[in-house]
Structure 1
Amino acid sequence: MQRIPFLYTMLLLGFLLSSCKKGLEEINVNPNESEVINPEFLLSSTIINTAYAYQQDAYFDKPASAGRYITMVRNEGDDKFDWGPQSWDAEYARLSANREMMALAQKMNVPQYVAVGKIMEAFNFAYVTDLFGDIPYTDALLLKSERLVHPKYDPQQTVYPALLKTLKDANDQLISIGNKVDGNADVMYAGEPLNWRKFANSLRLRMLLRIAKNYPSAFTEMQEILNDKNKYPIFESNADNAEVKYLGTLSGNSWPGGPTANSFSEFDKRKPSKEIVDALLQRNDPRLPVWIAKVDALTGGTVDNHPYVGVPNAIPAPYDYNGGADHISRLAAIFKSNSDPMVKATMMTYAEVCFILAECVQAGKVTVPGKTAESLYYAGIAANMKYYGVDQAATNNHYYDQPLVKYNGTLEQLIGQKWIAGFLKGTEAWFDNRRTGFPKFVLGPLSSTPVLPKRYIYPTGERDTNEDEYQKGVAAFGPDKQTTLMWYLK
């Protein structure tokens, strides 16, 4: 059965509810319950659902394969990169719930919820356009208010500047608003406006770098942020990370690989990639045993008898690689826990901000007061080491003095370290690879393509229920293929 996309289902539901309203309005009132949902409840669910879904993609879905952190040894279709059409229903469902929260907050005159909602809206819309390219944006969330059934596709080159303005406006509003969002409802920052402002401005840095090739004012806008840290604060330590803890009590609030969320066999389908294991080994990296488990058998491997063995991408019978399961590494135990403190649903980190700034300073595009590209590069590595509790080990083992690690001013080295630090923490590895060409991933013999996909193919439902707007969108965007370049990559 063809699933009707969320956007259109909401309209149908609204029609049914409005047609049945007369007569039912009075008898369906519960005198013991509030008729109004407070915005703090909707905010909490928006933050949790966004962070959990983004993290699940980075570990359990196609971005994990495209980032080359994971190799699937069972059900390995994602690793072959013939992905086909992808749904965006969940993303638009989160956007719709968040928009409802902002509308309610506006009515109740609690503007702090509107400002935080803008940040979440920008994050979610940016993710959708990063995945697909041109997307429904201006018309996308108007089903309830305007009964708009067939949203048009907006060009990415208009979507991104609008989102950047949304983030800037949110930061400015949070400066002037005296009240905080409810600390109990804000599961990420406990209601602290300064943290939300840091997230908004750090996210702007990520987005500006992403579009810099085709957005002439990108570095000017970045420099504006960097010139005034009081007006535009950004992440300054791991304590600022945009991430949500897992409670680990139910499948819905557990790490996607934990025993509560999924069976162990599901966890065991995902092995660390050869790329990430080899990169860690080559650098004698103290994060290796934190992320990767040793093989069960140290002898008898057909290819490699090292204690840590990753699996190459898209090879025949990957479960038999190196002699089978006993001779290939699993992910470490933290990734089969429901709620290990080092495993959170992460949207953005301080380490990423350091690498973003290091890249821009290294290219001579911006300056950061008191910082150099080299110092920012090392700060990004050190922040991630500290996050996983191995910063002292890195110092003791002279990690930073190794030829592969010692700063050499190349983009390849910088993005390589950013990739390592981003292990299972989002889609940035995939997005950086398609933007810079680094790291230089090698795709296996069974891969359907010699290069990583550049985008998701639009949902099948768009051709079924939004055909006219879909065709107009594709005519402007280009062929609906995963190799078509979106605006900021051209």
Structure 2
Amino acid sequence: MFVMSVLVFQSCQDLTELNENPNGVEPSTVDPNLLISTVLTEYGQSVVDNGFGNVAGVMQHLEKDSWSSAFNNYDWEEEEWSGYYSMLRTNKLAYERAVEEGMEFHQGVCLVMRAMIFGRITDFWGDAPYTYALNAEDGGTDDILPPFDSQETIYKGIIDELATAASLLSKESTEYSNVSAEADVFYGGDATKWMKLANSLALRFYMRLSAKLPDYAEAGVKKMLAESLISSVDEGCMMSYIGSSDDDSWPSNTEYDSSSSNFKRYKPCTTLLYRLNELNDPRLGTWFNPVEIPIVVSSLYAPTEDTVVDDVRYITPEYLAANSMMIFDESTFKQAVEDGYTLVDTNSVYVGLPPSVSSYEPYDYNLNPNPTQGGGNVHVSYLSDLFKDAENEYLLARIFPYSEVCFLKAEAAYYGWGGVAEDSYDAGVEASLEEWGVDDDFSSYIANDGVAFDGTLDQIMEQKWIASFTNASEAWFDWRRTGLPDLQTGPSPLRDAIPLRFYYGSDEKENNATNYLAAIENLETTSYSSSDDNDSAWSKMWLLQGTDEPW
């Protein structure tokens, strides 16, 4: 189905651009099910591409020890949004065909996906073409070279579209025609689950506006809390991988990479790893492997200064001092690197890679005996073996898990907008553990110091940040508007602050220059963005202007 969907997707791109494709499917007769399948699979993969990619480095879930500058240090290039607009073109054709055929289920699904994709575009870049986007065939100047809508217009527009979608999807599934369970790779043709996703997305976007438009957000959140939302792990919006080729497999898989080079590049970031360790979090062992050879500072085997005995590497204190080495400490490592010290991590079970340590190559970290690009490191933990698979029950595109709904409700309750914060917080923690197969540990985990609810927003957002592992984009969007968790850069980032947005792509600059230049005037520069002018990853989009967040 994935391969067929990609082929149909490419055909539809050709039809849009050339108006004729003798080898493709006529747009006037194409089945909306095939088009929808394309949109869902493409979008699902994009969630992982970002949430397990560079944004995972931004949110300090992961670091890379090779080819790592963009991942670890925010050394980003311009980011094109053409893939998202391609999805939207396919989605538009599916919607138009569904209207022609009177297929309300498909109309509702297309509106949900339109809102989700446009939401992702404005979340990443800021202002973007919306009102006049996808209308090039109409021939007007604004249709061919669309102006950028404000974020306010986009967020409010997609919230309205989600309300329409929820209404279209409010019938029993048996009342809809021509629904293909196989083509619906999210929910198998279940209209009720799609309706709950539409309402949950509206809750997400209302909460996105909580700092910028608090009155509007409060009214919307209260309205959505009275609607049917995703209410169990099984109702969460997830997409499985097929695993039949590298293109439809989890990105770190070793089944189609015999060298395992890609898998070896991913390392846990110390920020997440050591917080999980402090909390005695059961997800720790699910996500990461223990270090193969720990390092111990000891004179046990002196006068040998550096030796491996029984899979433990021993170095003497004198060796440490003579070679300008310092034991890794989360609170002091940044200054230690700036002072010229080489870090040595002596954690006996799990060892992470600190954020943005580029005074030396990250594959050199922790006295790696084989310091080569993609060569691995026996002194730093890897991802767990489940991330070597092409597919398994936990390697999912986590598009909208139930745990996120719970944490959104906990945050709303914290603001006094309805509900009980502790109940929703506990439900979110339990849901995340269940989503990763360790929910048997919930009762003991929720009683741990630092996990038992203390009534603070910091704790709600910290657990939501943890739960967003492999979907770090949502954690990024939350961090921007709340400043939580309180993440600090490492010693060698491109700028001494975490970025806020993507740079607009060169395609837009070159082909829609007038509207691009007008759009970047709406960005607010900060002390970190001045060398980029307005279009900077460190400039504030409308959503953040005047909110004092994250700085």
Cα deviation for residue 385 of structure 1 reads 1.0
Report whether the alignment pairs 1:174 with 2:169: yes
* Equivalent in 543, 546, 551 of residue 488 of structure 1: 543
- Provide the C-alpha distance between the structure 2 equivalents of 1:134 and 1:111, rounded to a whole number of angstroms: 30
* Equivalent in 325, 329, 338 of residue 390 of structure 2: 338
Cα deviation for residue 11 of structure 1 reads 13
Question: Does the 8 A contact of 2:28 with 2:97 survive in 1?
Answer: no
- Provide the C-alpha distance between the structure 2 equivalents of 1:29 and 1:285, rounded to a whole number of angstroms: 54
What does 1:307-346 correspond to in 2, within 5 Å? 307-316=349-358, 317-324=361-368, 325-346=377-398
Cα deviation for residue 405 of structure 1 reads 0.9
- Provide the C-alpha distance between the structure 1 equivalents of 2:460 and 2:313, rounded to a whole number of angstroms: 37
Higher share in helix = 1
- Provide the C-alpha distance between the structure 2 equivalents of 1:328 and 1:204, rounded to a whole number of angstroms: 41
Give the structure, 1 or 2, with the largest relative contact order (CA under 8 Å, sep 6 or more): 1
Which whole-Å deviations, capped at 9, do the CAs of 1:214-273 have from their partners, x for residues lacking one?
A: 22311111111222xxxx310111001111111111222211111346562012111111
**Cα distance change, pair 293–383 in 1 and its aligned pair in 2 (3 A):** same
Q: Which residue does the alignment assign to 1:300? A: 313
Structure 1 counterpart SS, 2:393: coil
**Cα distance change, pair 183–14 in 1 and its aligned pair in 2 (3 A):** closer
Q: Which residue does the alignment assign to 2:131? A: 138
Q: Which residue does the alignment assign to 2:428? A: 380
Q: Which residue does the alignment assign to 2:247? A: 252
* Equivalent in 222, 232, 240 of residue 237 of structure 1: 232
Question: Does the 8 A contact of 1:322 with 1:328 survive in 2?
Answer: yes
Cα deviation for residue 209 of structure 1 reads 0.6
Cα deviation for residue 100 of structure 1 reads 1.1
Question: Does the 8 A contact of 2:27 with 2:93 survive in 1?
Answer: no
Question: Does the 8 A contact of 1:195 with 1:240 survive in 2?
Answer: yes
Identity %: 30
- Provide the C-alpha distance between the structure 1 equivalents of 2:194 and 2:128, rounded to a whole number of angstroms: 26
Q: Which residue does the alignment assign to 2:160? A: 165
- Provide the C-alpha distance between the structure 2 equivalents of 1:34 and 1:134, rounded to a whole number of angstroms: 30
Cα deviation for residue 176 of structure 1 reads 4.9
Which whole-Å deviations, capped at 9, do the CAs of 1:316-346 have from their partners, x for residues lacking one?
A: 3221222221110001111111111011111
Question: Does the 8 A contact of 1:10 with 1:143 survive in 2?
Answer: no
- Provide the C-alpha distance between the structure 1 equivalents of 2:469 and 2:47, rounded to a whole number of angstroms: 14
Which whole-Å deviations, capped at 9, do the CAs of 1:10-62 have from their partners, x for residues lacking one?
A: 999779846xx7xxx9xx599x99972101000111111101111121112x2
Report whether the alignment pairs 1:444 with 2:490: yes
Question: Does the 8 A contact of 1:294 with 1:308 survive in 2?
Answer: yes
* Equivalent in 49, 52, 59 of residue 56 of structure 1: 49
**Cα distance change, pair 243–146 in 1 and its aligned pair in 2 (3 A):** farther
* Equivalent in 144, 147, 151 of residue 149 of structure 1: 144
**Cα distance change, pair 56–290 in 1 and its aligned pair in 2 (3 A):** same
- Provide the C-alpha distance between the structure 2 equivalents of 1:311 and 1:426, rounded to a whole number of angstroms: 17
Q: Which residue does the alignment assign to 2:320? A: none
Q: Which residue does the alignment assign to 1:67? A: 59
Question: Does the 8 A contact of 1:243 with 1:346 survive in 2?
Answer: yes
CA RMSD of aligned residues (A): 2.4
Cα deviation for residue 205 of structure 1 reads 1.0
Report whether the alignment pairs 1:85 with 2:87: no
Cα deviation for residue 103 of structure 1 reads 1.1
Report whether the alignment pairs 1:266 with 2:239: no
**Cα distance change, pair 16–385 in 1 and its aligned pair in 2 (3 A):** closer
Single out whichever of 423-432 and 173-182 deviates more from structure 2: 173-182
Aligned residue identity for 1:244 = M
- Provide the C-alpha distance between the structure 2 equivalents of 1:348 and 1:356, rounded to a whole number of angstroms: 12
Report whether the alignment pairs 1:465 with 2:511: yes
Single out whichever of 76-85 and 92-101 deviates more from structure 2: 76-85
Question: Does the 8 A contact of 1:443 with 1:451 survive in 2?
Answer: yes
**Cα distance change, pair 353–314 in 1 and its aligned pair in 2 (3 A):** same
Cα deviation for residue 88 of structure 1 reads 0.6
- Provide the C-alpha distance between the structure 2 equivalents of 1:320 and 1:184, rounded to a whole number of angstroms: 47
TM-score (norm 1): 0.89
Cα deviation for residue 472 of structure 1 reads 1.6
Question: Does the 8 A contact of 2:107 with 2:168 survive in 1?
Answer: no
Aligned residue identity for 2:63 = T
TM-score (norm 2): 0.80
Q: Which residue does the alignment assign to 2:283? A: 287
Cα deviation for residue 476 of structure 1 reads 3.3
Question: Does the 8 A contact of 2:430 with 2:439 survive in 1?
Answer: yes
Question: Does the 8 A contact of 1:347 with 1:426 survive in 2?
Answer: no
Report whether the alignment pairs 1:360 with 2:412: yes
**Cα distance change, pair 406–467 in 1 and its aligned pair in 2 (3 A):** same
Cα deviation for residue 145 of structure 1 reads 4.3
- Provide the C-alpha distance between the structure 2 equivalents of 1:328 and 1:458, rounded to a whole number of angstroms: 36
Which whole-Å deviations, capped at 9, do the CAs of 1:381-402 have from their partners, x for residues lacking one?
A: 111112222122343xx22222
- Provide the C-alpha distance between the structure 2 equivalents of 1:426 and 1:160, rounded to a whole number of angstroms: 21
Q: Which residue does the alignment assign to 2:68? A: 76
- Provide the C-alpha distance between the structure 1 equivalents of 2:248 and 2:431, rounded to a whole number of angstroms: 26
Structure 2 counterpart SS, 1:154: coil
Single out whichever of 418-427 and 300-309 deviates more from structure 2: 300-309
- Provide the C-alpha distance between the structure 1 equivalents of 2:432 and 2:441, rounded to a whole number of angstroms: 13
Q: Which residue does the alignment assign to 1:5? A: none
- Provide the C-alpha distance between the structure 1 equivalents of 2:475 and 2:131, rounded to a whole number of angstroms: 29
